[in-house]
Amino acid sequence: MSTIAAAAKAAAAPGPITMEVGETYPEIRESVRRVCARFPGEYWREKDRNRHYPSEFVAALTEAGFLAVLIPEEYGGAGLGISAGAAILEEVNVSGCNAAACHAQMYTMGTVLRHGTERQKLEYLPKIAGGKLRLQAFGVTEPTSGSDTLSLRTTAVREGEHYVVNGQKVWTSRAEHSDLLLLLARTTPKEQVAKRTDGLSVFLVDMREAKGAGLTIRPIRAMLNHNTTELFFDNMRIPAASLIGEEGRGFRYILDGMNAERILVAADALGDARWHINKATAYGKERVVFGRPIGQNQGVQFPIAAAYMATEAASLMTRKAAALFEAGEPCGAEANMAKHLAAEAAWQAADTCMQTFGGFGFAEEYDVERKFREARIYRTAPISSNMILSYVAEHVLGLPRSY
């Protein structure tokens, strides 16, 4: 599309690390807003009520080229930097839509791009960019190991030209609505590896072939409409060519993709924060109780102002992380801090919005209770807040390792 193509051209020449003042990618944001306007609150309420996947919305974003902005031009995408992806996801959520329906494609794709063979890239990326294949599922978390990824138990054992996968994943979101799954599994037993980070491998699994042939997907009914599932692998045979990169180095590849994931999820959270602030501000001006707008009371306006400041601060950290990421500089601390601050700001804004709306906040028709539920996720997934606090304590401040 033309706005994306123009932005790609402008971004082609790398310059010094800078952060823009004002909106990033205003033309792209405007196009996103136009697409989102076709999917109003009642569309999302119906999906939420029935826990249905917003297929029409994801198709519209795909068709407009938004989900392919990070895929390089030679593979059919726009070749833009992470801040373009962040602008799109943020704007989706500011508009009251739900970026979680499709954000994973932006960061899982990076693992294929950075570590896949040229053959894998040529086979998958153009189809993903063109919307012919969906890569929306990312299987890391398991019921027993949880945040302790290195203790995951799903195994993939090489047998000739195949790997045989056994085990279980939990909270694998969008698996029923994705063709491909990026899967992390153990290929060397934990006791046999030289370094504790060795022995895990990443696979790109074609679920269209695996379903019913060793792969069972069971939906989990959750607090929010996240289309999340449990996966069961029972002697699932996948071609050896599904391996991404080198066997045993999968944990590094996943870590490598985490900065992108943190930045994009921070953008999701910022979008939700802004939606709640906009909604609370508008309601504060219009709702009259005791003969004056409720927003005239400092008890109502101060929490909204505080949530706004937290959001602006988190936005600055997200931009800093994105600028470093795009310059190829280390950004682990900034990406983690951005995700944490944005998650806290989203929750602060959601709680404030709910309080501002009084009883009406609980009524479905205002969309506040739905967005409130959606805004809670960032403190838990894709990584829970304590893990980020622990990362900053240990790796930034040099405090003793706690686990």
Ligand X SMILES: Cc1cc2nc3c(=O)[nH]c(=O)nc-3n(C[C@H](O)[C@H](O)[C@H](O)COP(=O)(O)OP(=O)(O)OC[C@H]3O[C@@H](n4cnc5c(N)ncnc54)[C@H](O)[C@@H]3O)c2cc1C
Residues 225-244 that bind ligand X (CB under 6 A): 226, 228
Please identify, using beta-carbon distances, which residue of 306 and 393 lies nearer to ligand X. 393
Residue 214: CB minimum distance to ligand X, A = 19
Q: Give the total of residues touching ligand X (CB under 6 A).
A: 22
By CB under 6 A, name the one of 138, 253, 308, 372 that touches ligand X. 138
Q: Judge whether 118 counts as a catalytic residue.
A: no
Of residues 142, 261, 344, 369, which has the active-site annotation?
Answer: 261
By CB under 6 A, name the one of 38, 296, 386, 399 that touches ligand X. 386
Residue bearing tokens 């894709």: 382
By CB under 6 A, name the one of 40, 146, 219, 239 that touches ligand X. 146
Q: Which of 131, 214, 230, 145 is nearest to 186 (CA)?
A: 145
Length of the chain counted residue by residue:
403
Neighbours of 203 (CB within 10 A): 24
By CB under 6 A, name the one of 85, 139, 167, 199 that touches ligand X. 139
Q: Give the CA angle between residues 197, 200, 205 to the nearest 5°.
A: 150
147 binds ligand X (CB under 6 A): yes
Cα 345 from chain centroid (whole Å): 17
To the nearest 10°, report the CA torsion of 137, 37, 344, 253.
30
Q: Which of 125, 134, 19 is nearest to 73 (CA)?
A: 125
Please identify, using beta-carbon distances, which residue of 232 and 360 lies nearer to ligand X. 232
Q: Which stretch, 73-81, 125-133, 135-143, 321-329, contacts ligand X (CB under 6 A)?
A: 135-143
Q: How far apart are CA 182 and CA 138, in angstroms?
A: 5
Residue 141: CB minimum distance to ligand X, A = 3
Please identify, using beta-carbon distances, which residue of 29 and 174 lies nearer to ligand X. 174
CB-based contact 307:345 (threshold 8 Å): yes
133 binds ligand X (CB under 6 A): no
Residue bearing tokens 């699932």: 236
Q: Cβ-closest residue to ligand X?
A: 146
Q: How far apart are CA 171 and CA 68, in angstroms?
A: 25
Cis peptide before 219 (omega within 30 of 0): no
Residues 321-380 that bind ligand X (CB under 6 A): 377, 380
Catalytic site residues?
Answer: 261
| Chain contacts with ligand X (rule: CB under 6 A) | 138-141, 146-147, 171-173, 222, 226, 228, 377, 380-384, 386-387, 390, 403
